[in-house]
Homo-oligomer: A and B are copies of this chain.
Amino acid sequence: MIEDKILLTESPDYKGLVAKITNICYKHQLNIINNTEFVDGDTHRFFMRTELQGIFNDDTFIADLKFMLPEGATYKLVPKQRKKIVILVTKEAHCLGDILMKNYYGGLDVDIAAVIGNHDKLRELTEKFNVPFHLVSHEGLSRVEHDKLLSEQIDEYAPDYIVLAKYMRVLNPEFVERYPNRVINIHHSFLPAFIGAKPYQQAYDRGVKIIGATAHFINNELDQGPIIMQNVINIDHTYTADAMMRAGRDVEKTVLSRALELVLSDRVFVHKNKTIVM
């Protein structure tokens, strides 16, 4: 059966790497639909994303790659198919609403397994779109206890990615380490400007002329994870912090859903604290 798969290769760089990999594809009669590679100039690490079409024998294909490529190389061969996500929310509806709506009309091809909120406010909106909603309240719980309940609820769905759609709590290190490079957050500022709480108030206080939003993977430093996508809009002195927040919502939701699209189509490598987006 003819299938579409994506080969993601990382390796220490050396001469002939592209030729070797594309040769193995050719030997397996796999057609290269698209091929993009990048070598990090500092770390001499090689990254390649190859869209393949043909009849796959995954085991012998990976075995051939392993045989030919140097130690330290890694390969992922992923089918081109829709991924599963769980979405975490608090009270703000715009990012969740945009993902639900896009999914509804076919603008974002993803399986939304569930939405989990630490408040109940977005249950109604979620259920309009026939997606299960779970309230996992943080009240009376320590952060570690709450995060544990969260991950138990998440793990029931075994999602590929976890999306923080304006989830307004910091997650503890155990939680983050459980899902490495699988938790995507939207921060409502142009990082690294205005890390932490109330970025629009910070932006207002500083008197900036542009505001933005940043989608990034979560790591264990607050708002320091690898950036996937950013965008901005112009503002002026007439914007209050509240007007910035209102205007910023369209940027936030667009940046988050565009970042999701990139991640869900296996276009994003994480390398140290950066992303390589192909």
Residues of A within 8 A of B (CB): 15-20, 22-23, 25-26, 29, 31-39, 41, 92-94, 97-98, 101-102, 104-105, 107, 125, 128-129, 190-194, 206-210, 212, 226-232, 234, 236-238, 240, 246, 249-250, 254, 257-258, 273-277
Q: List 12 A-B contacts (CB under 8 A).
A: A19-B23, A22-B23, A33-B39, A34-B38, A35-B35, A36-B36, A97-B104, A107-B246, A192-B206, A193-B193, A207-B274, A237-B276
How distant is the Cα of A98 from the Cα of B129 in the complex, in angstroms?
Answer: 14
B208 close to A230 (CB less than 8 A): yes
Instruction: Report A221 CB to chain B, min CB distance, Å.
Output: 12
Per DSSP, chain A at the interface is: mixed
Total copies of the chain: 4
CB–CB B32/A19 < 8 A: yes
Query: How many Å lie between the Cα of A112 and that of B4 in the bound state?
Result: 44
Q: Which residues of B contact A249 (CB under 8 A)?
A: 107
Q: Are B38 and A37 in contact (CB under 8 A)?
A: no
Option from B20, B129, B234, B273 in Cβ contact (under 8 Å) with A206: B273
Find out whether the CB atom of A101 lies under 8 angstroms from the CB atom of B105: no
Partner of A29, one of B15, B23, B194, B277: B15
Instruction: Tell whether A232 pairs with B232 under 8 Å between CB atoms, given A26-B16, A37-B35, A273-B206.
Output: yes
Separation in Å of the A188 CB from the closest CB of chain B? 14
Given A18-B22, A246-B107 in contact, is the A234-B236 Cβ separation under 8 Å? no
A237 touches which of B19, B98, B101, B277 (Cβ 8 Å): B277
Residues from chain B with a CB closer than 8 A to the CB of A226 are 207
- On chain B, the residues within 8 Å of A257 by CB distance are 250
Beyond A107-B246, A209-B227, list 11 extra A-B contacts (CB 8 Å): A20-B26, A23-B23, A34-B38, A38-B238, A92-B105, A97-B104, A191-B193, A192-B193, A208-B230, A232-B232, A234-B234
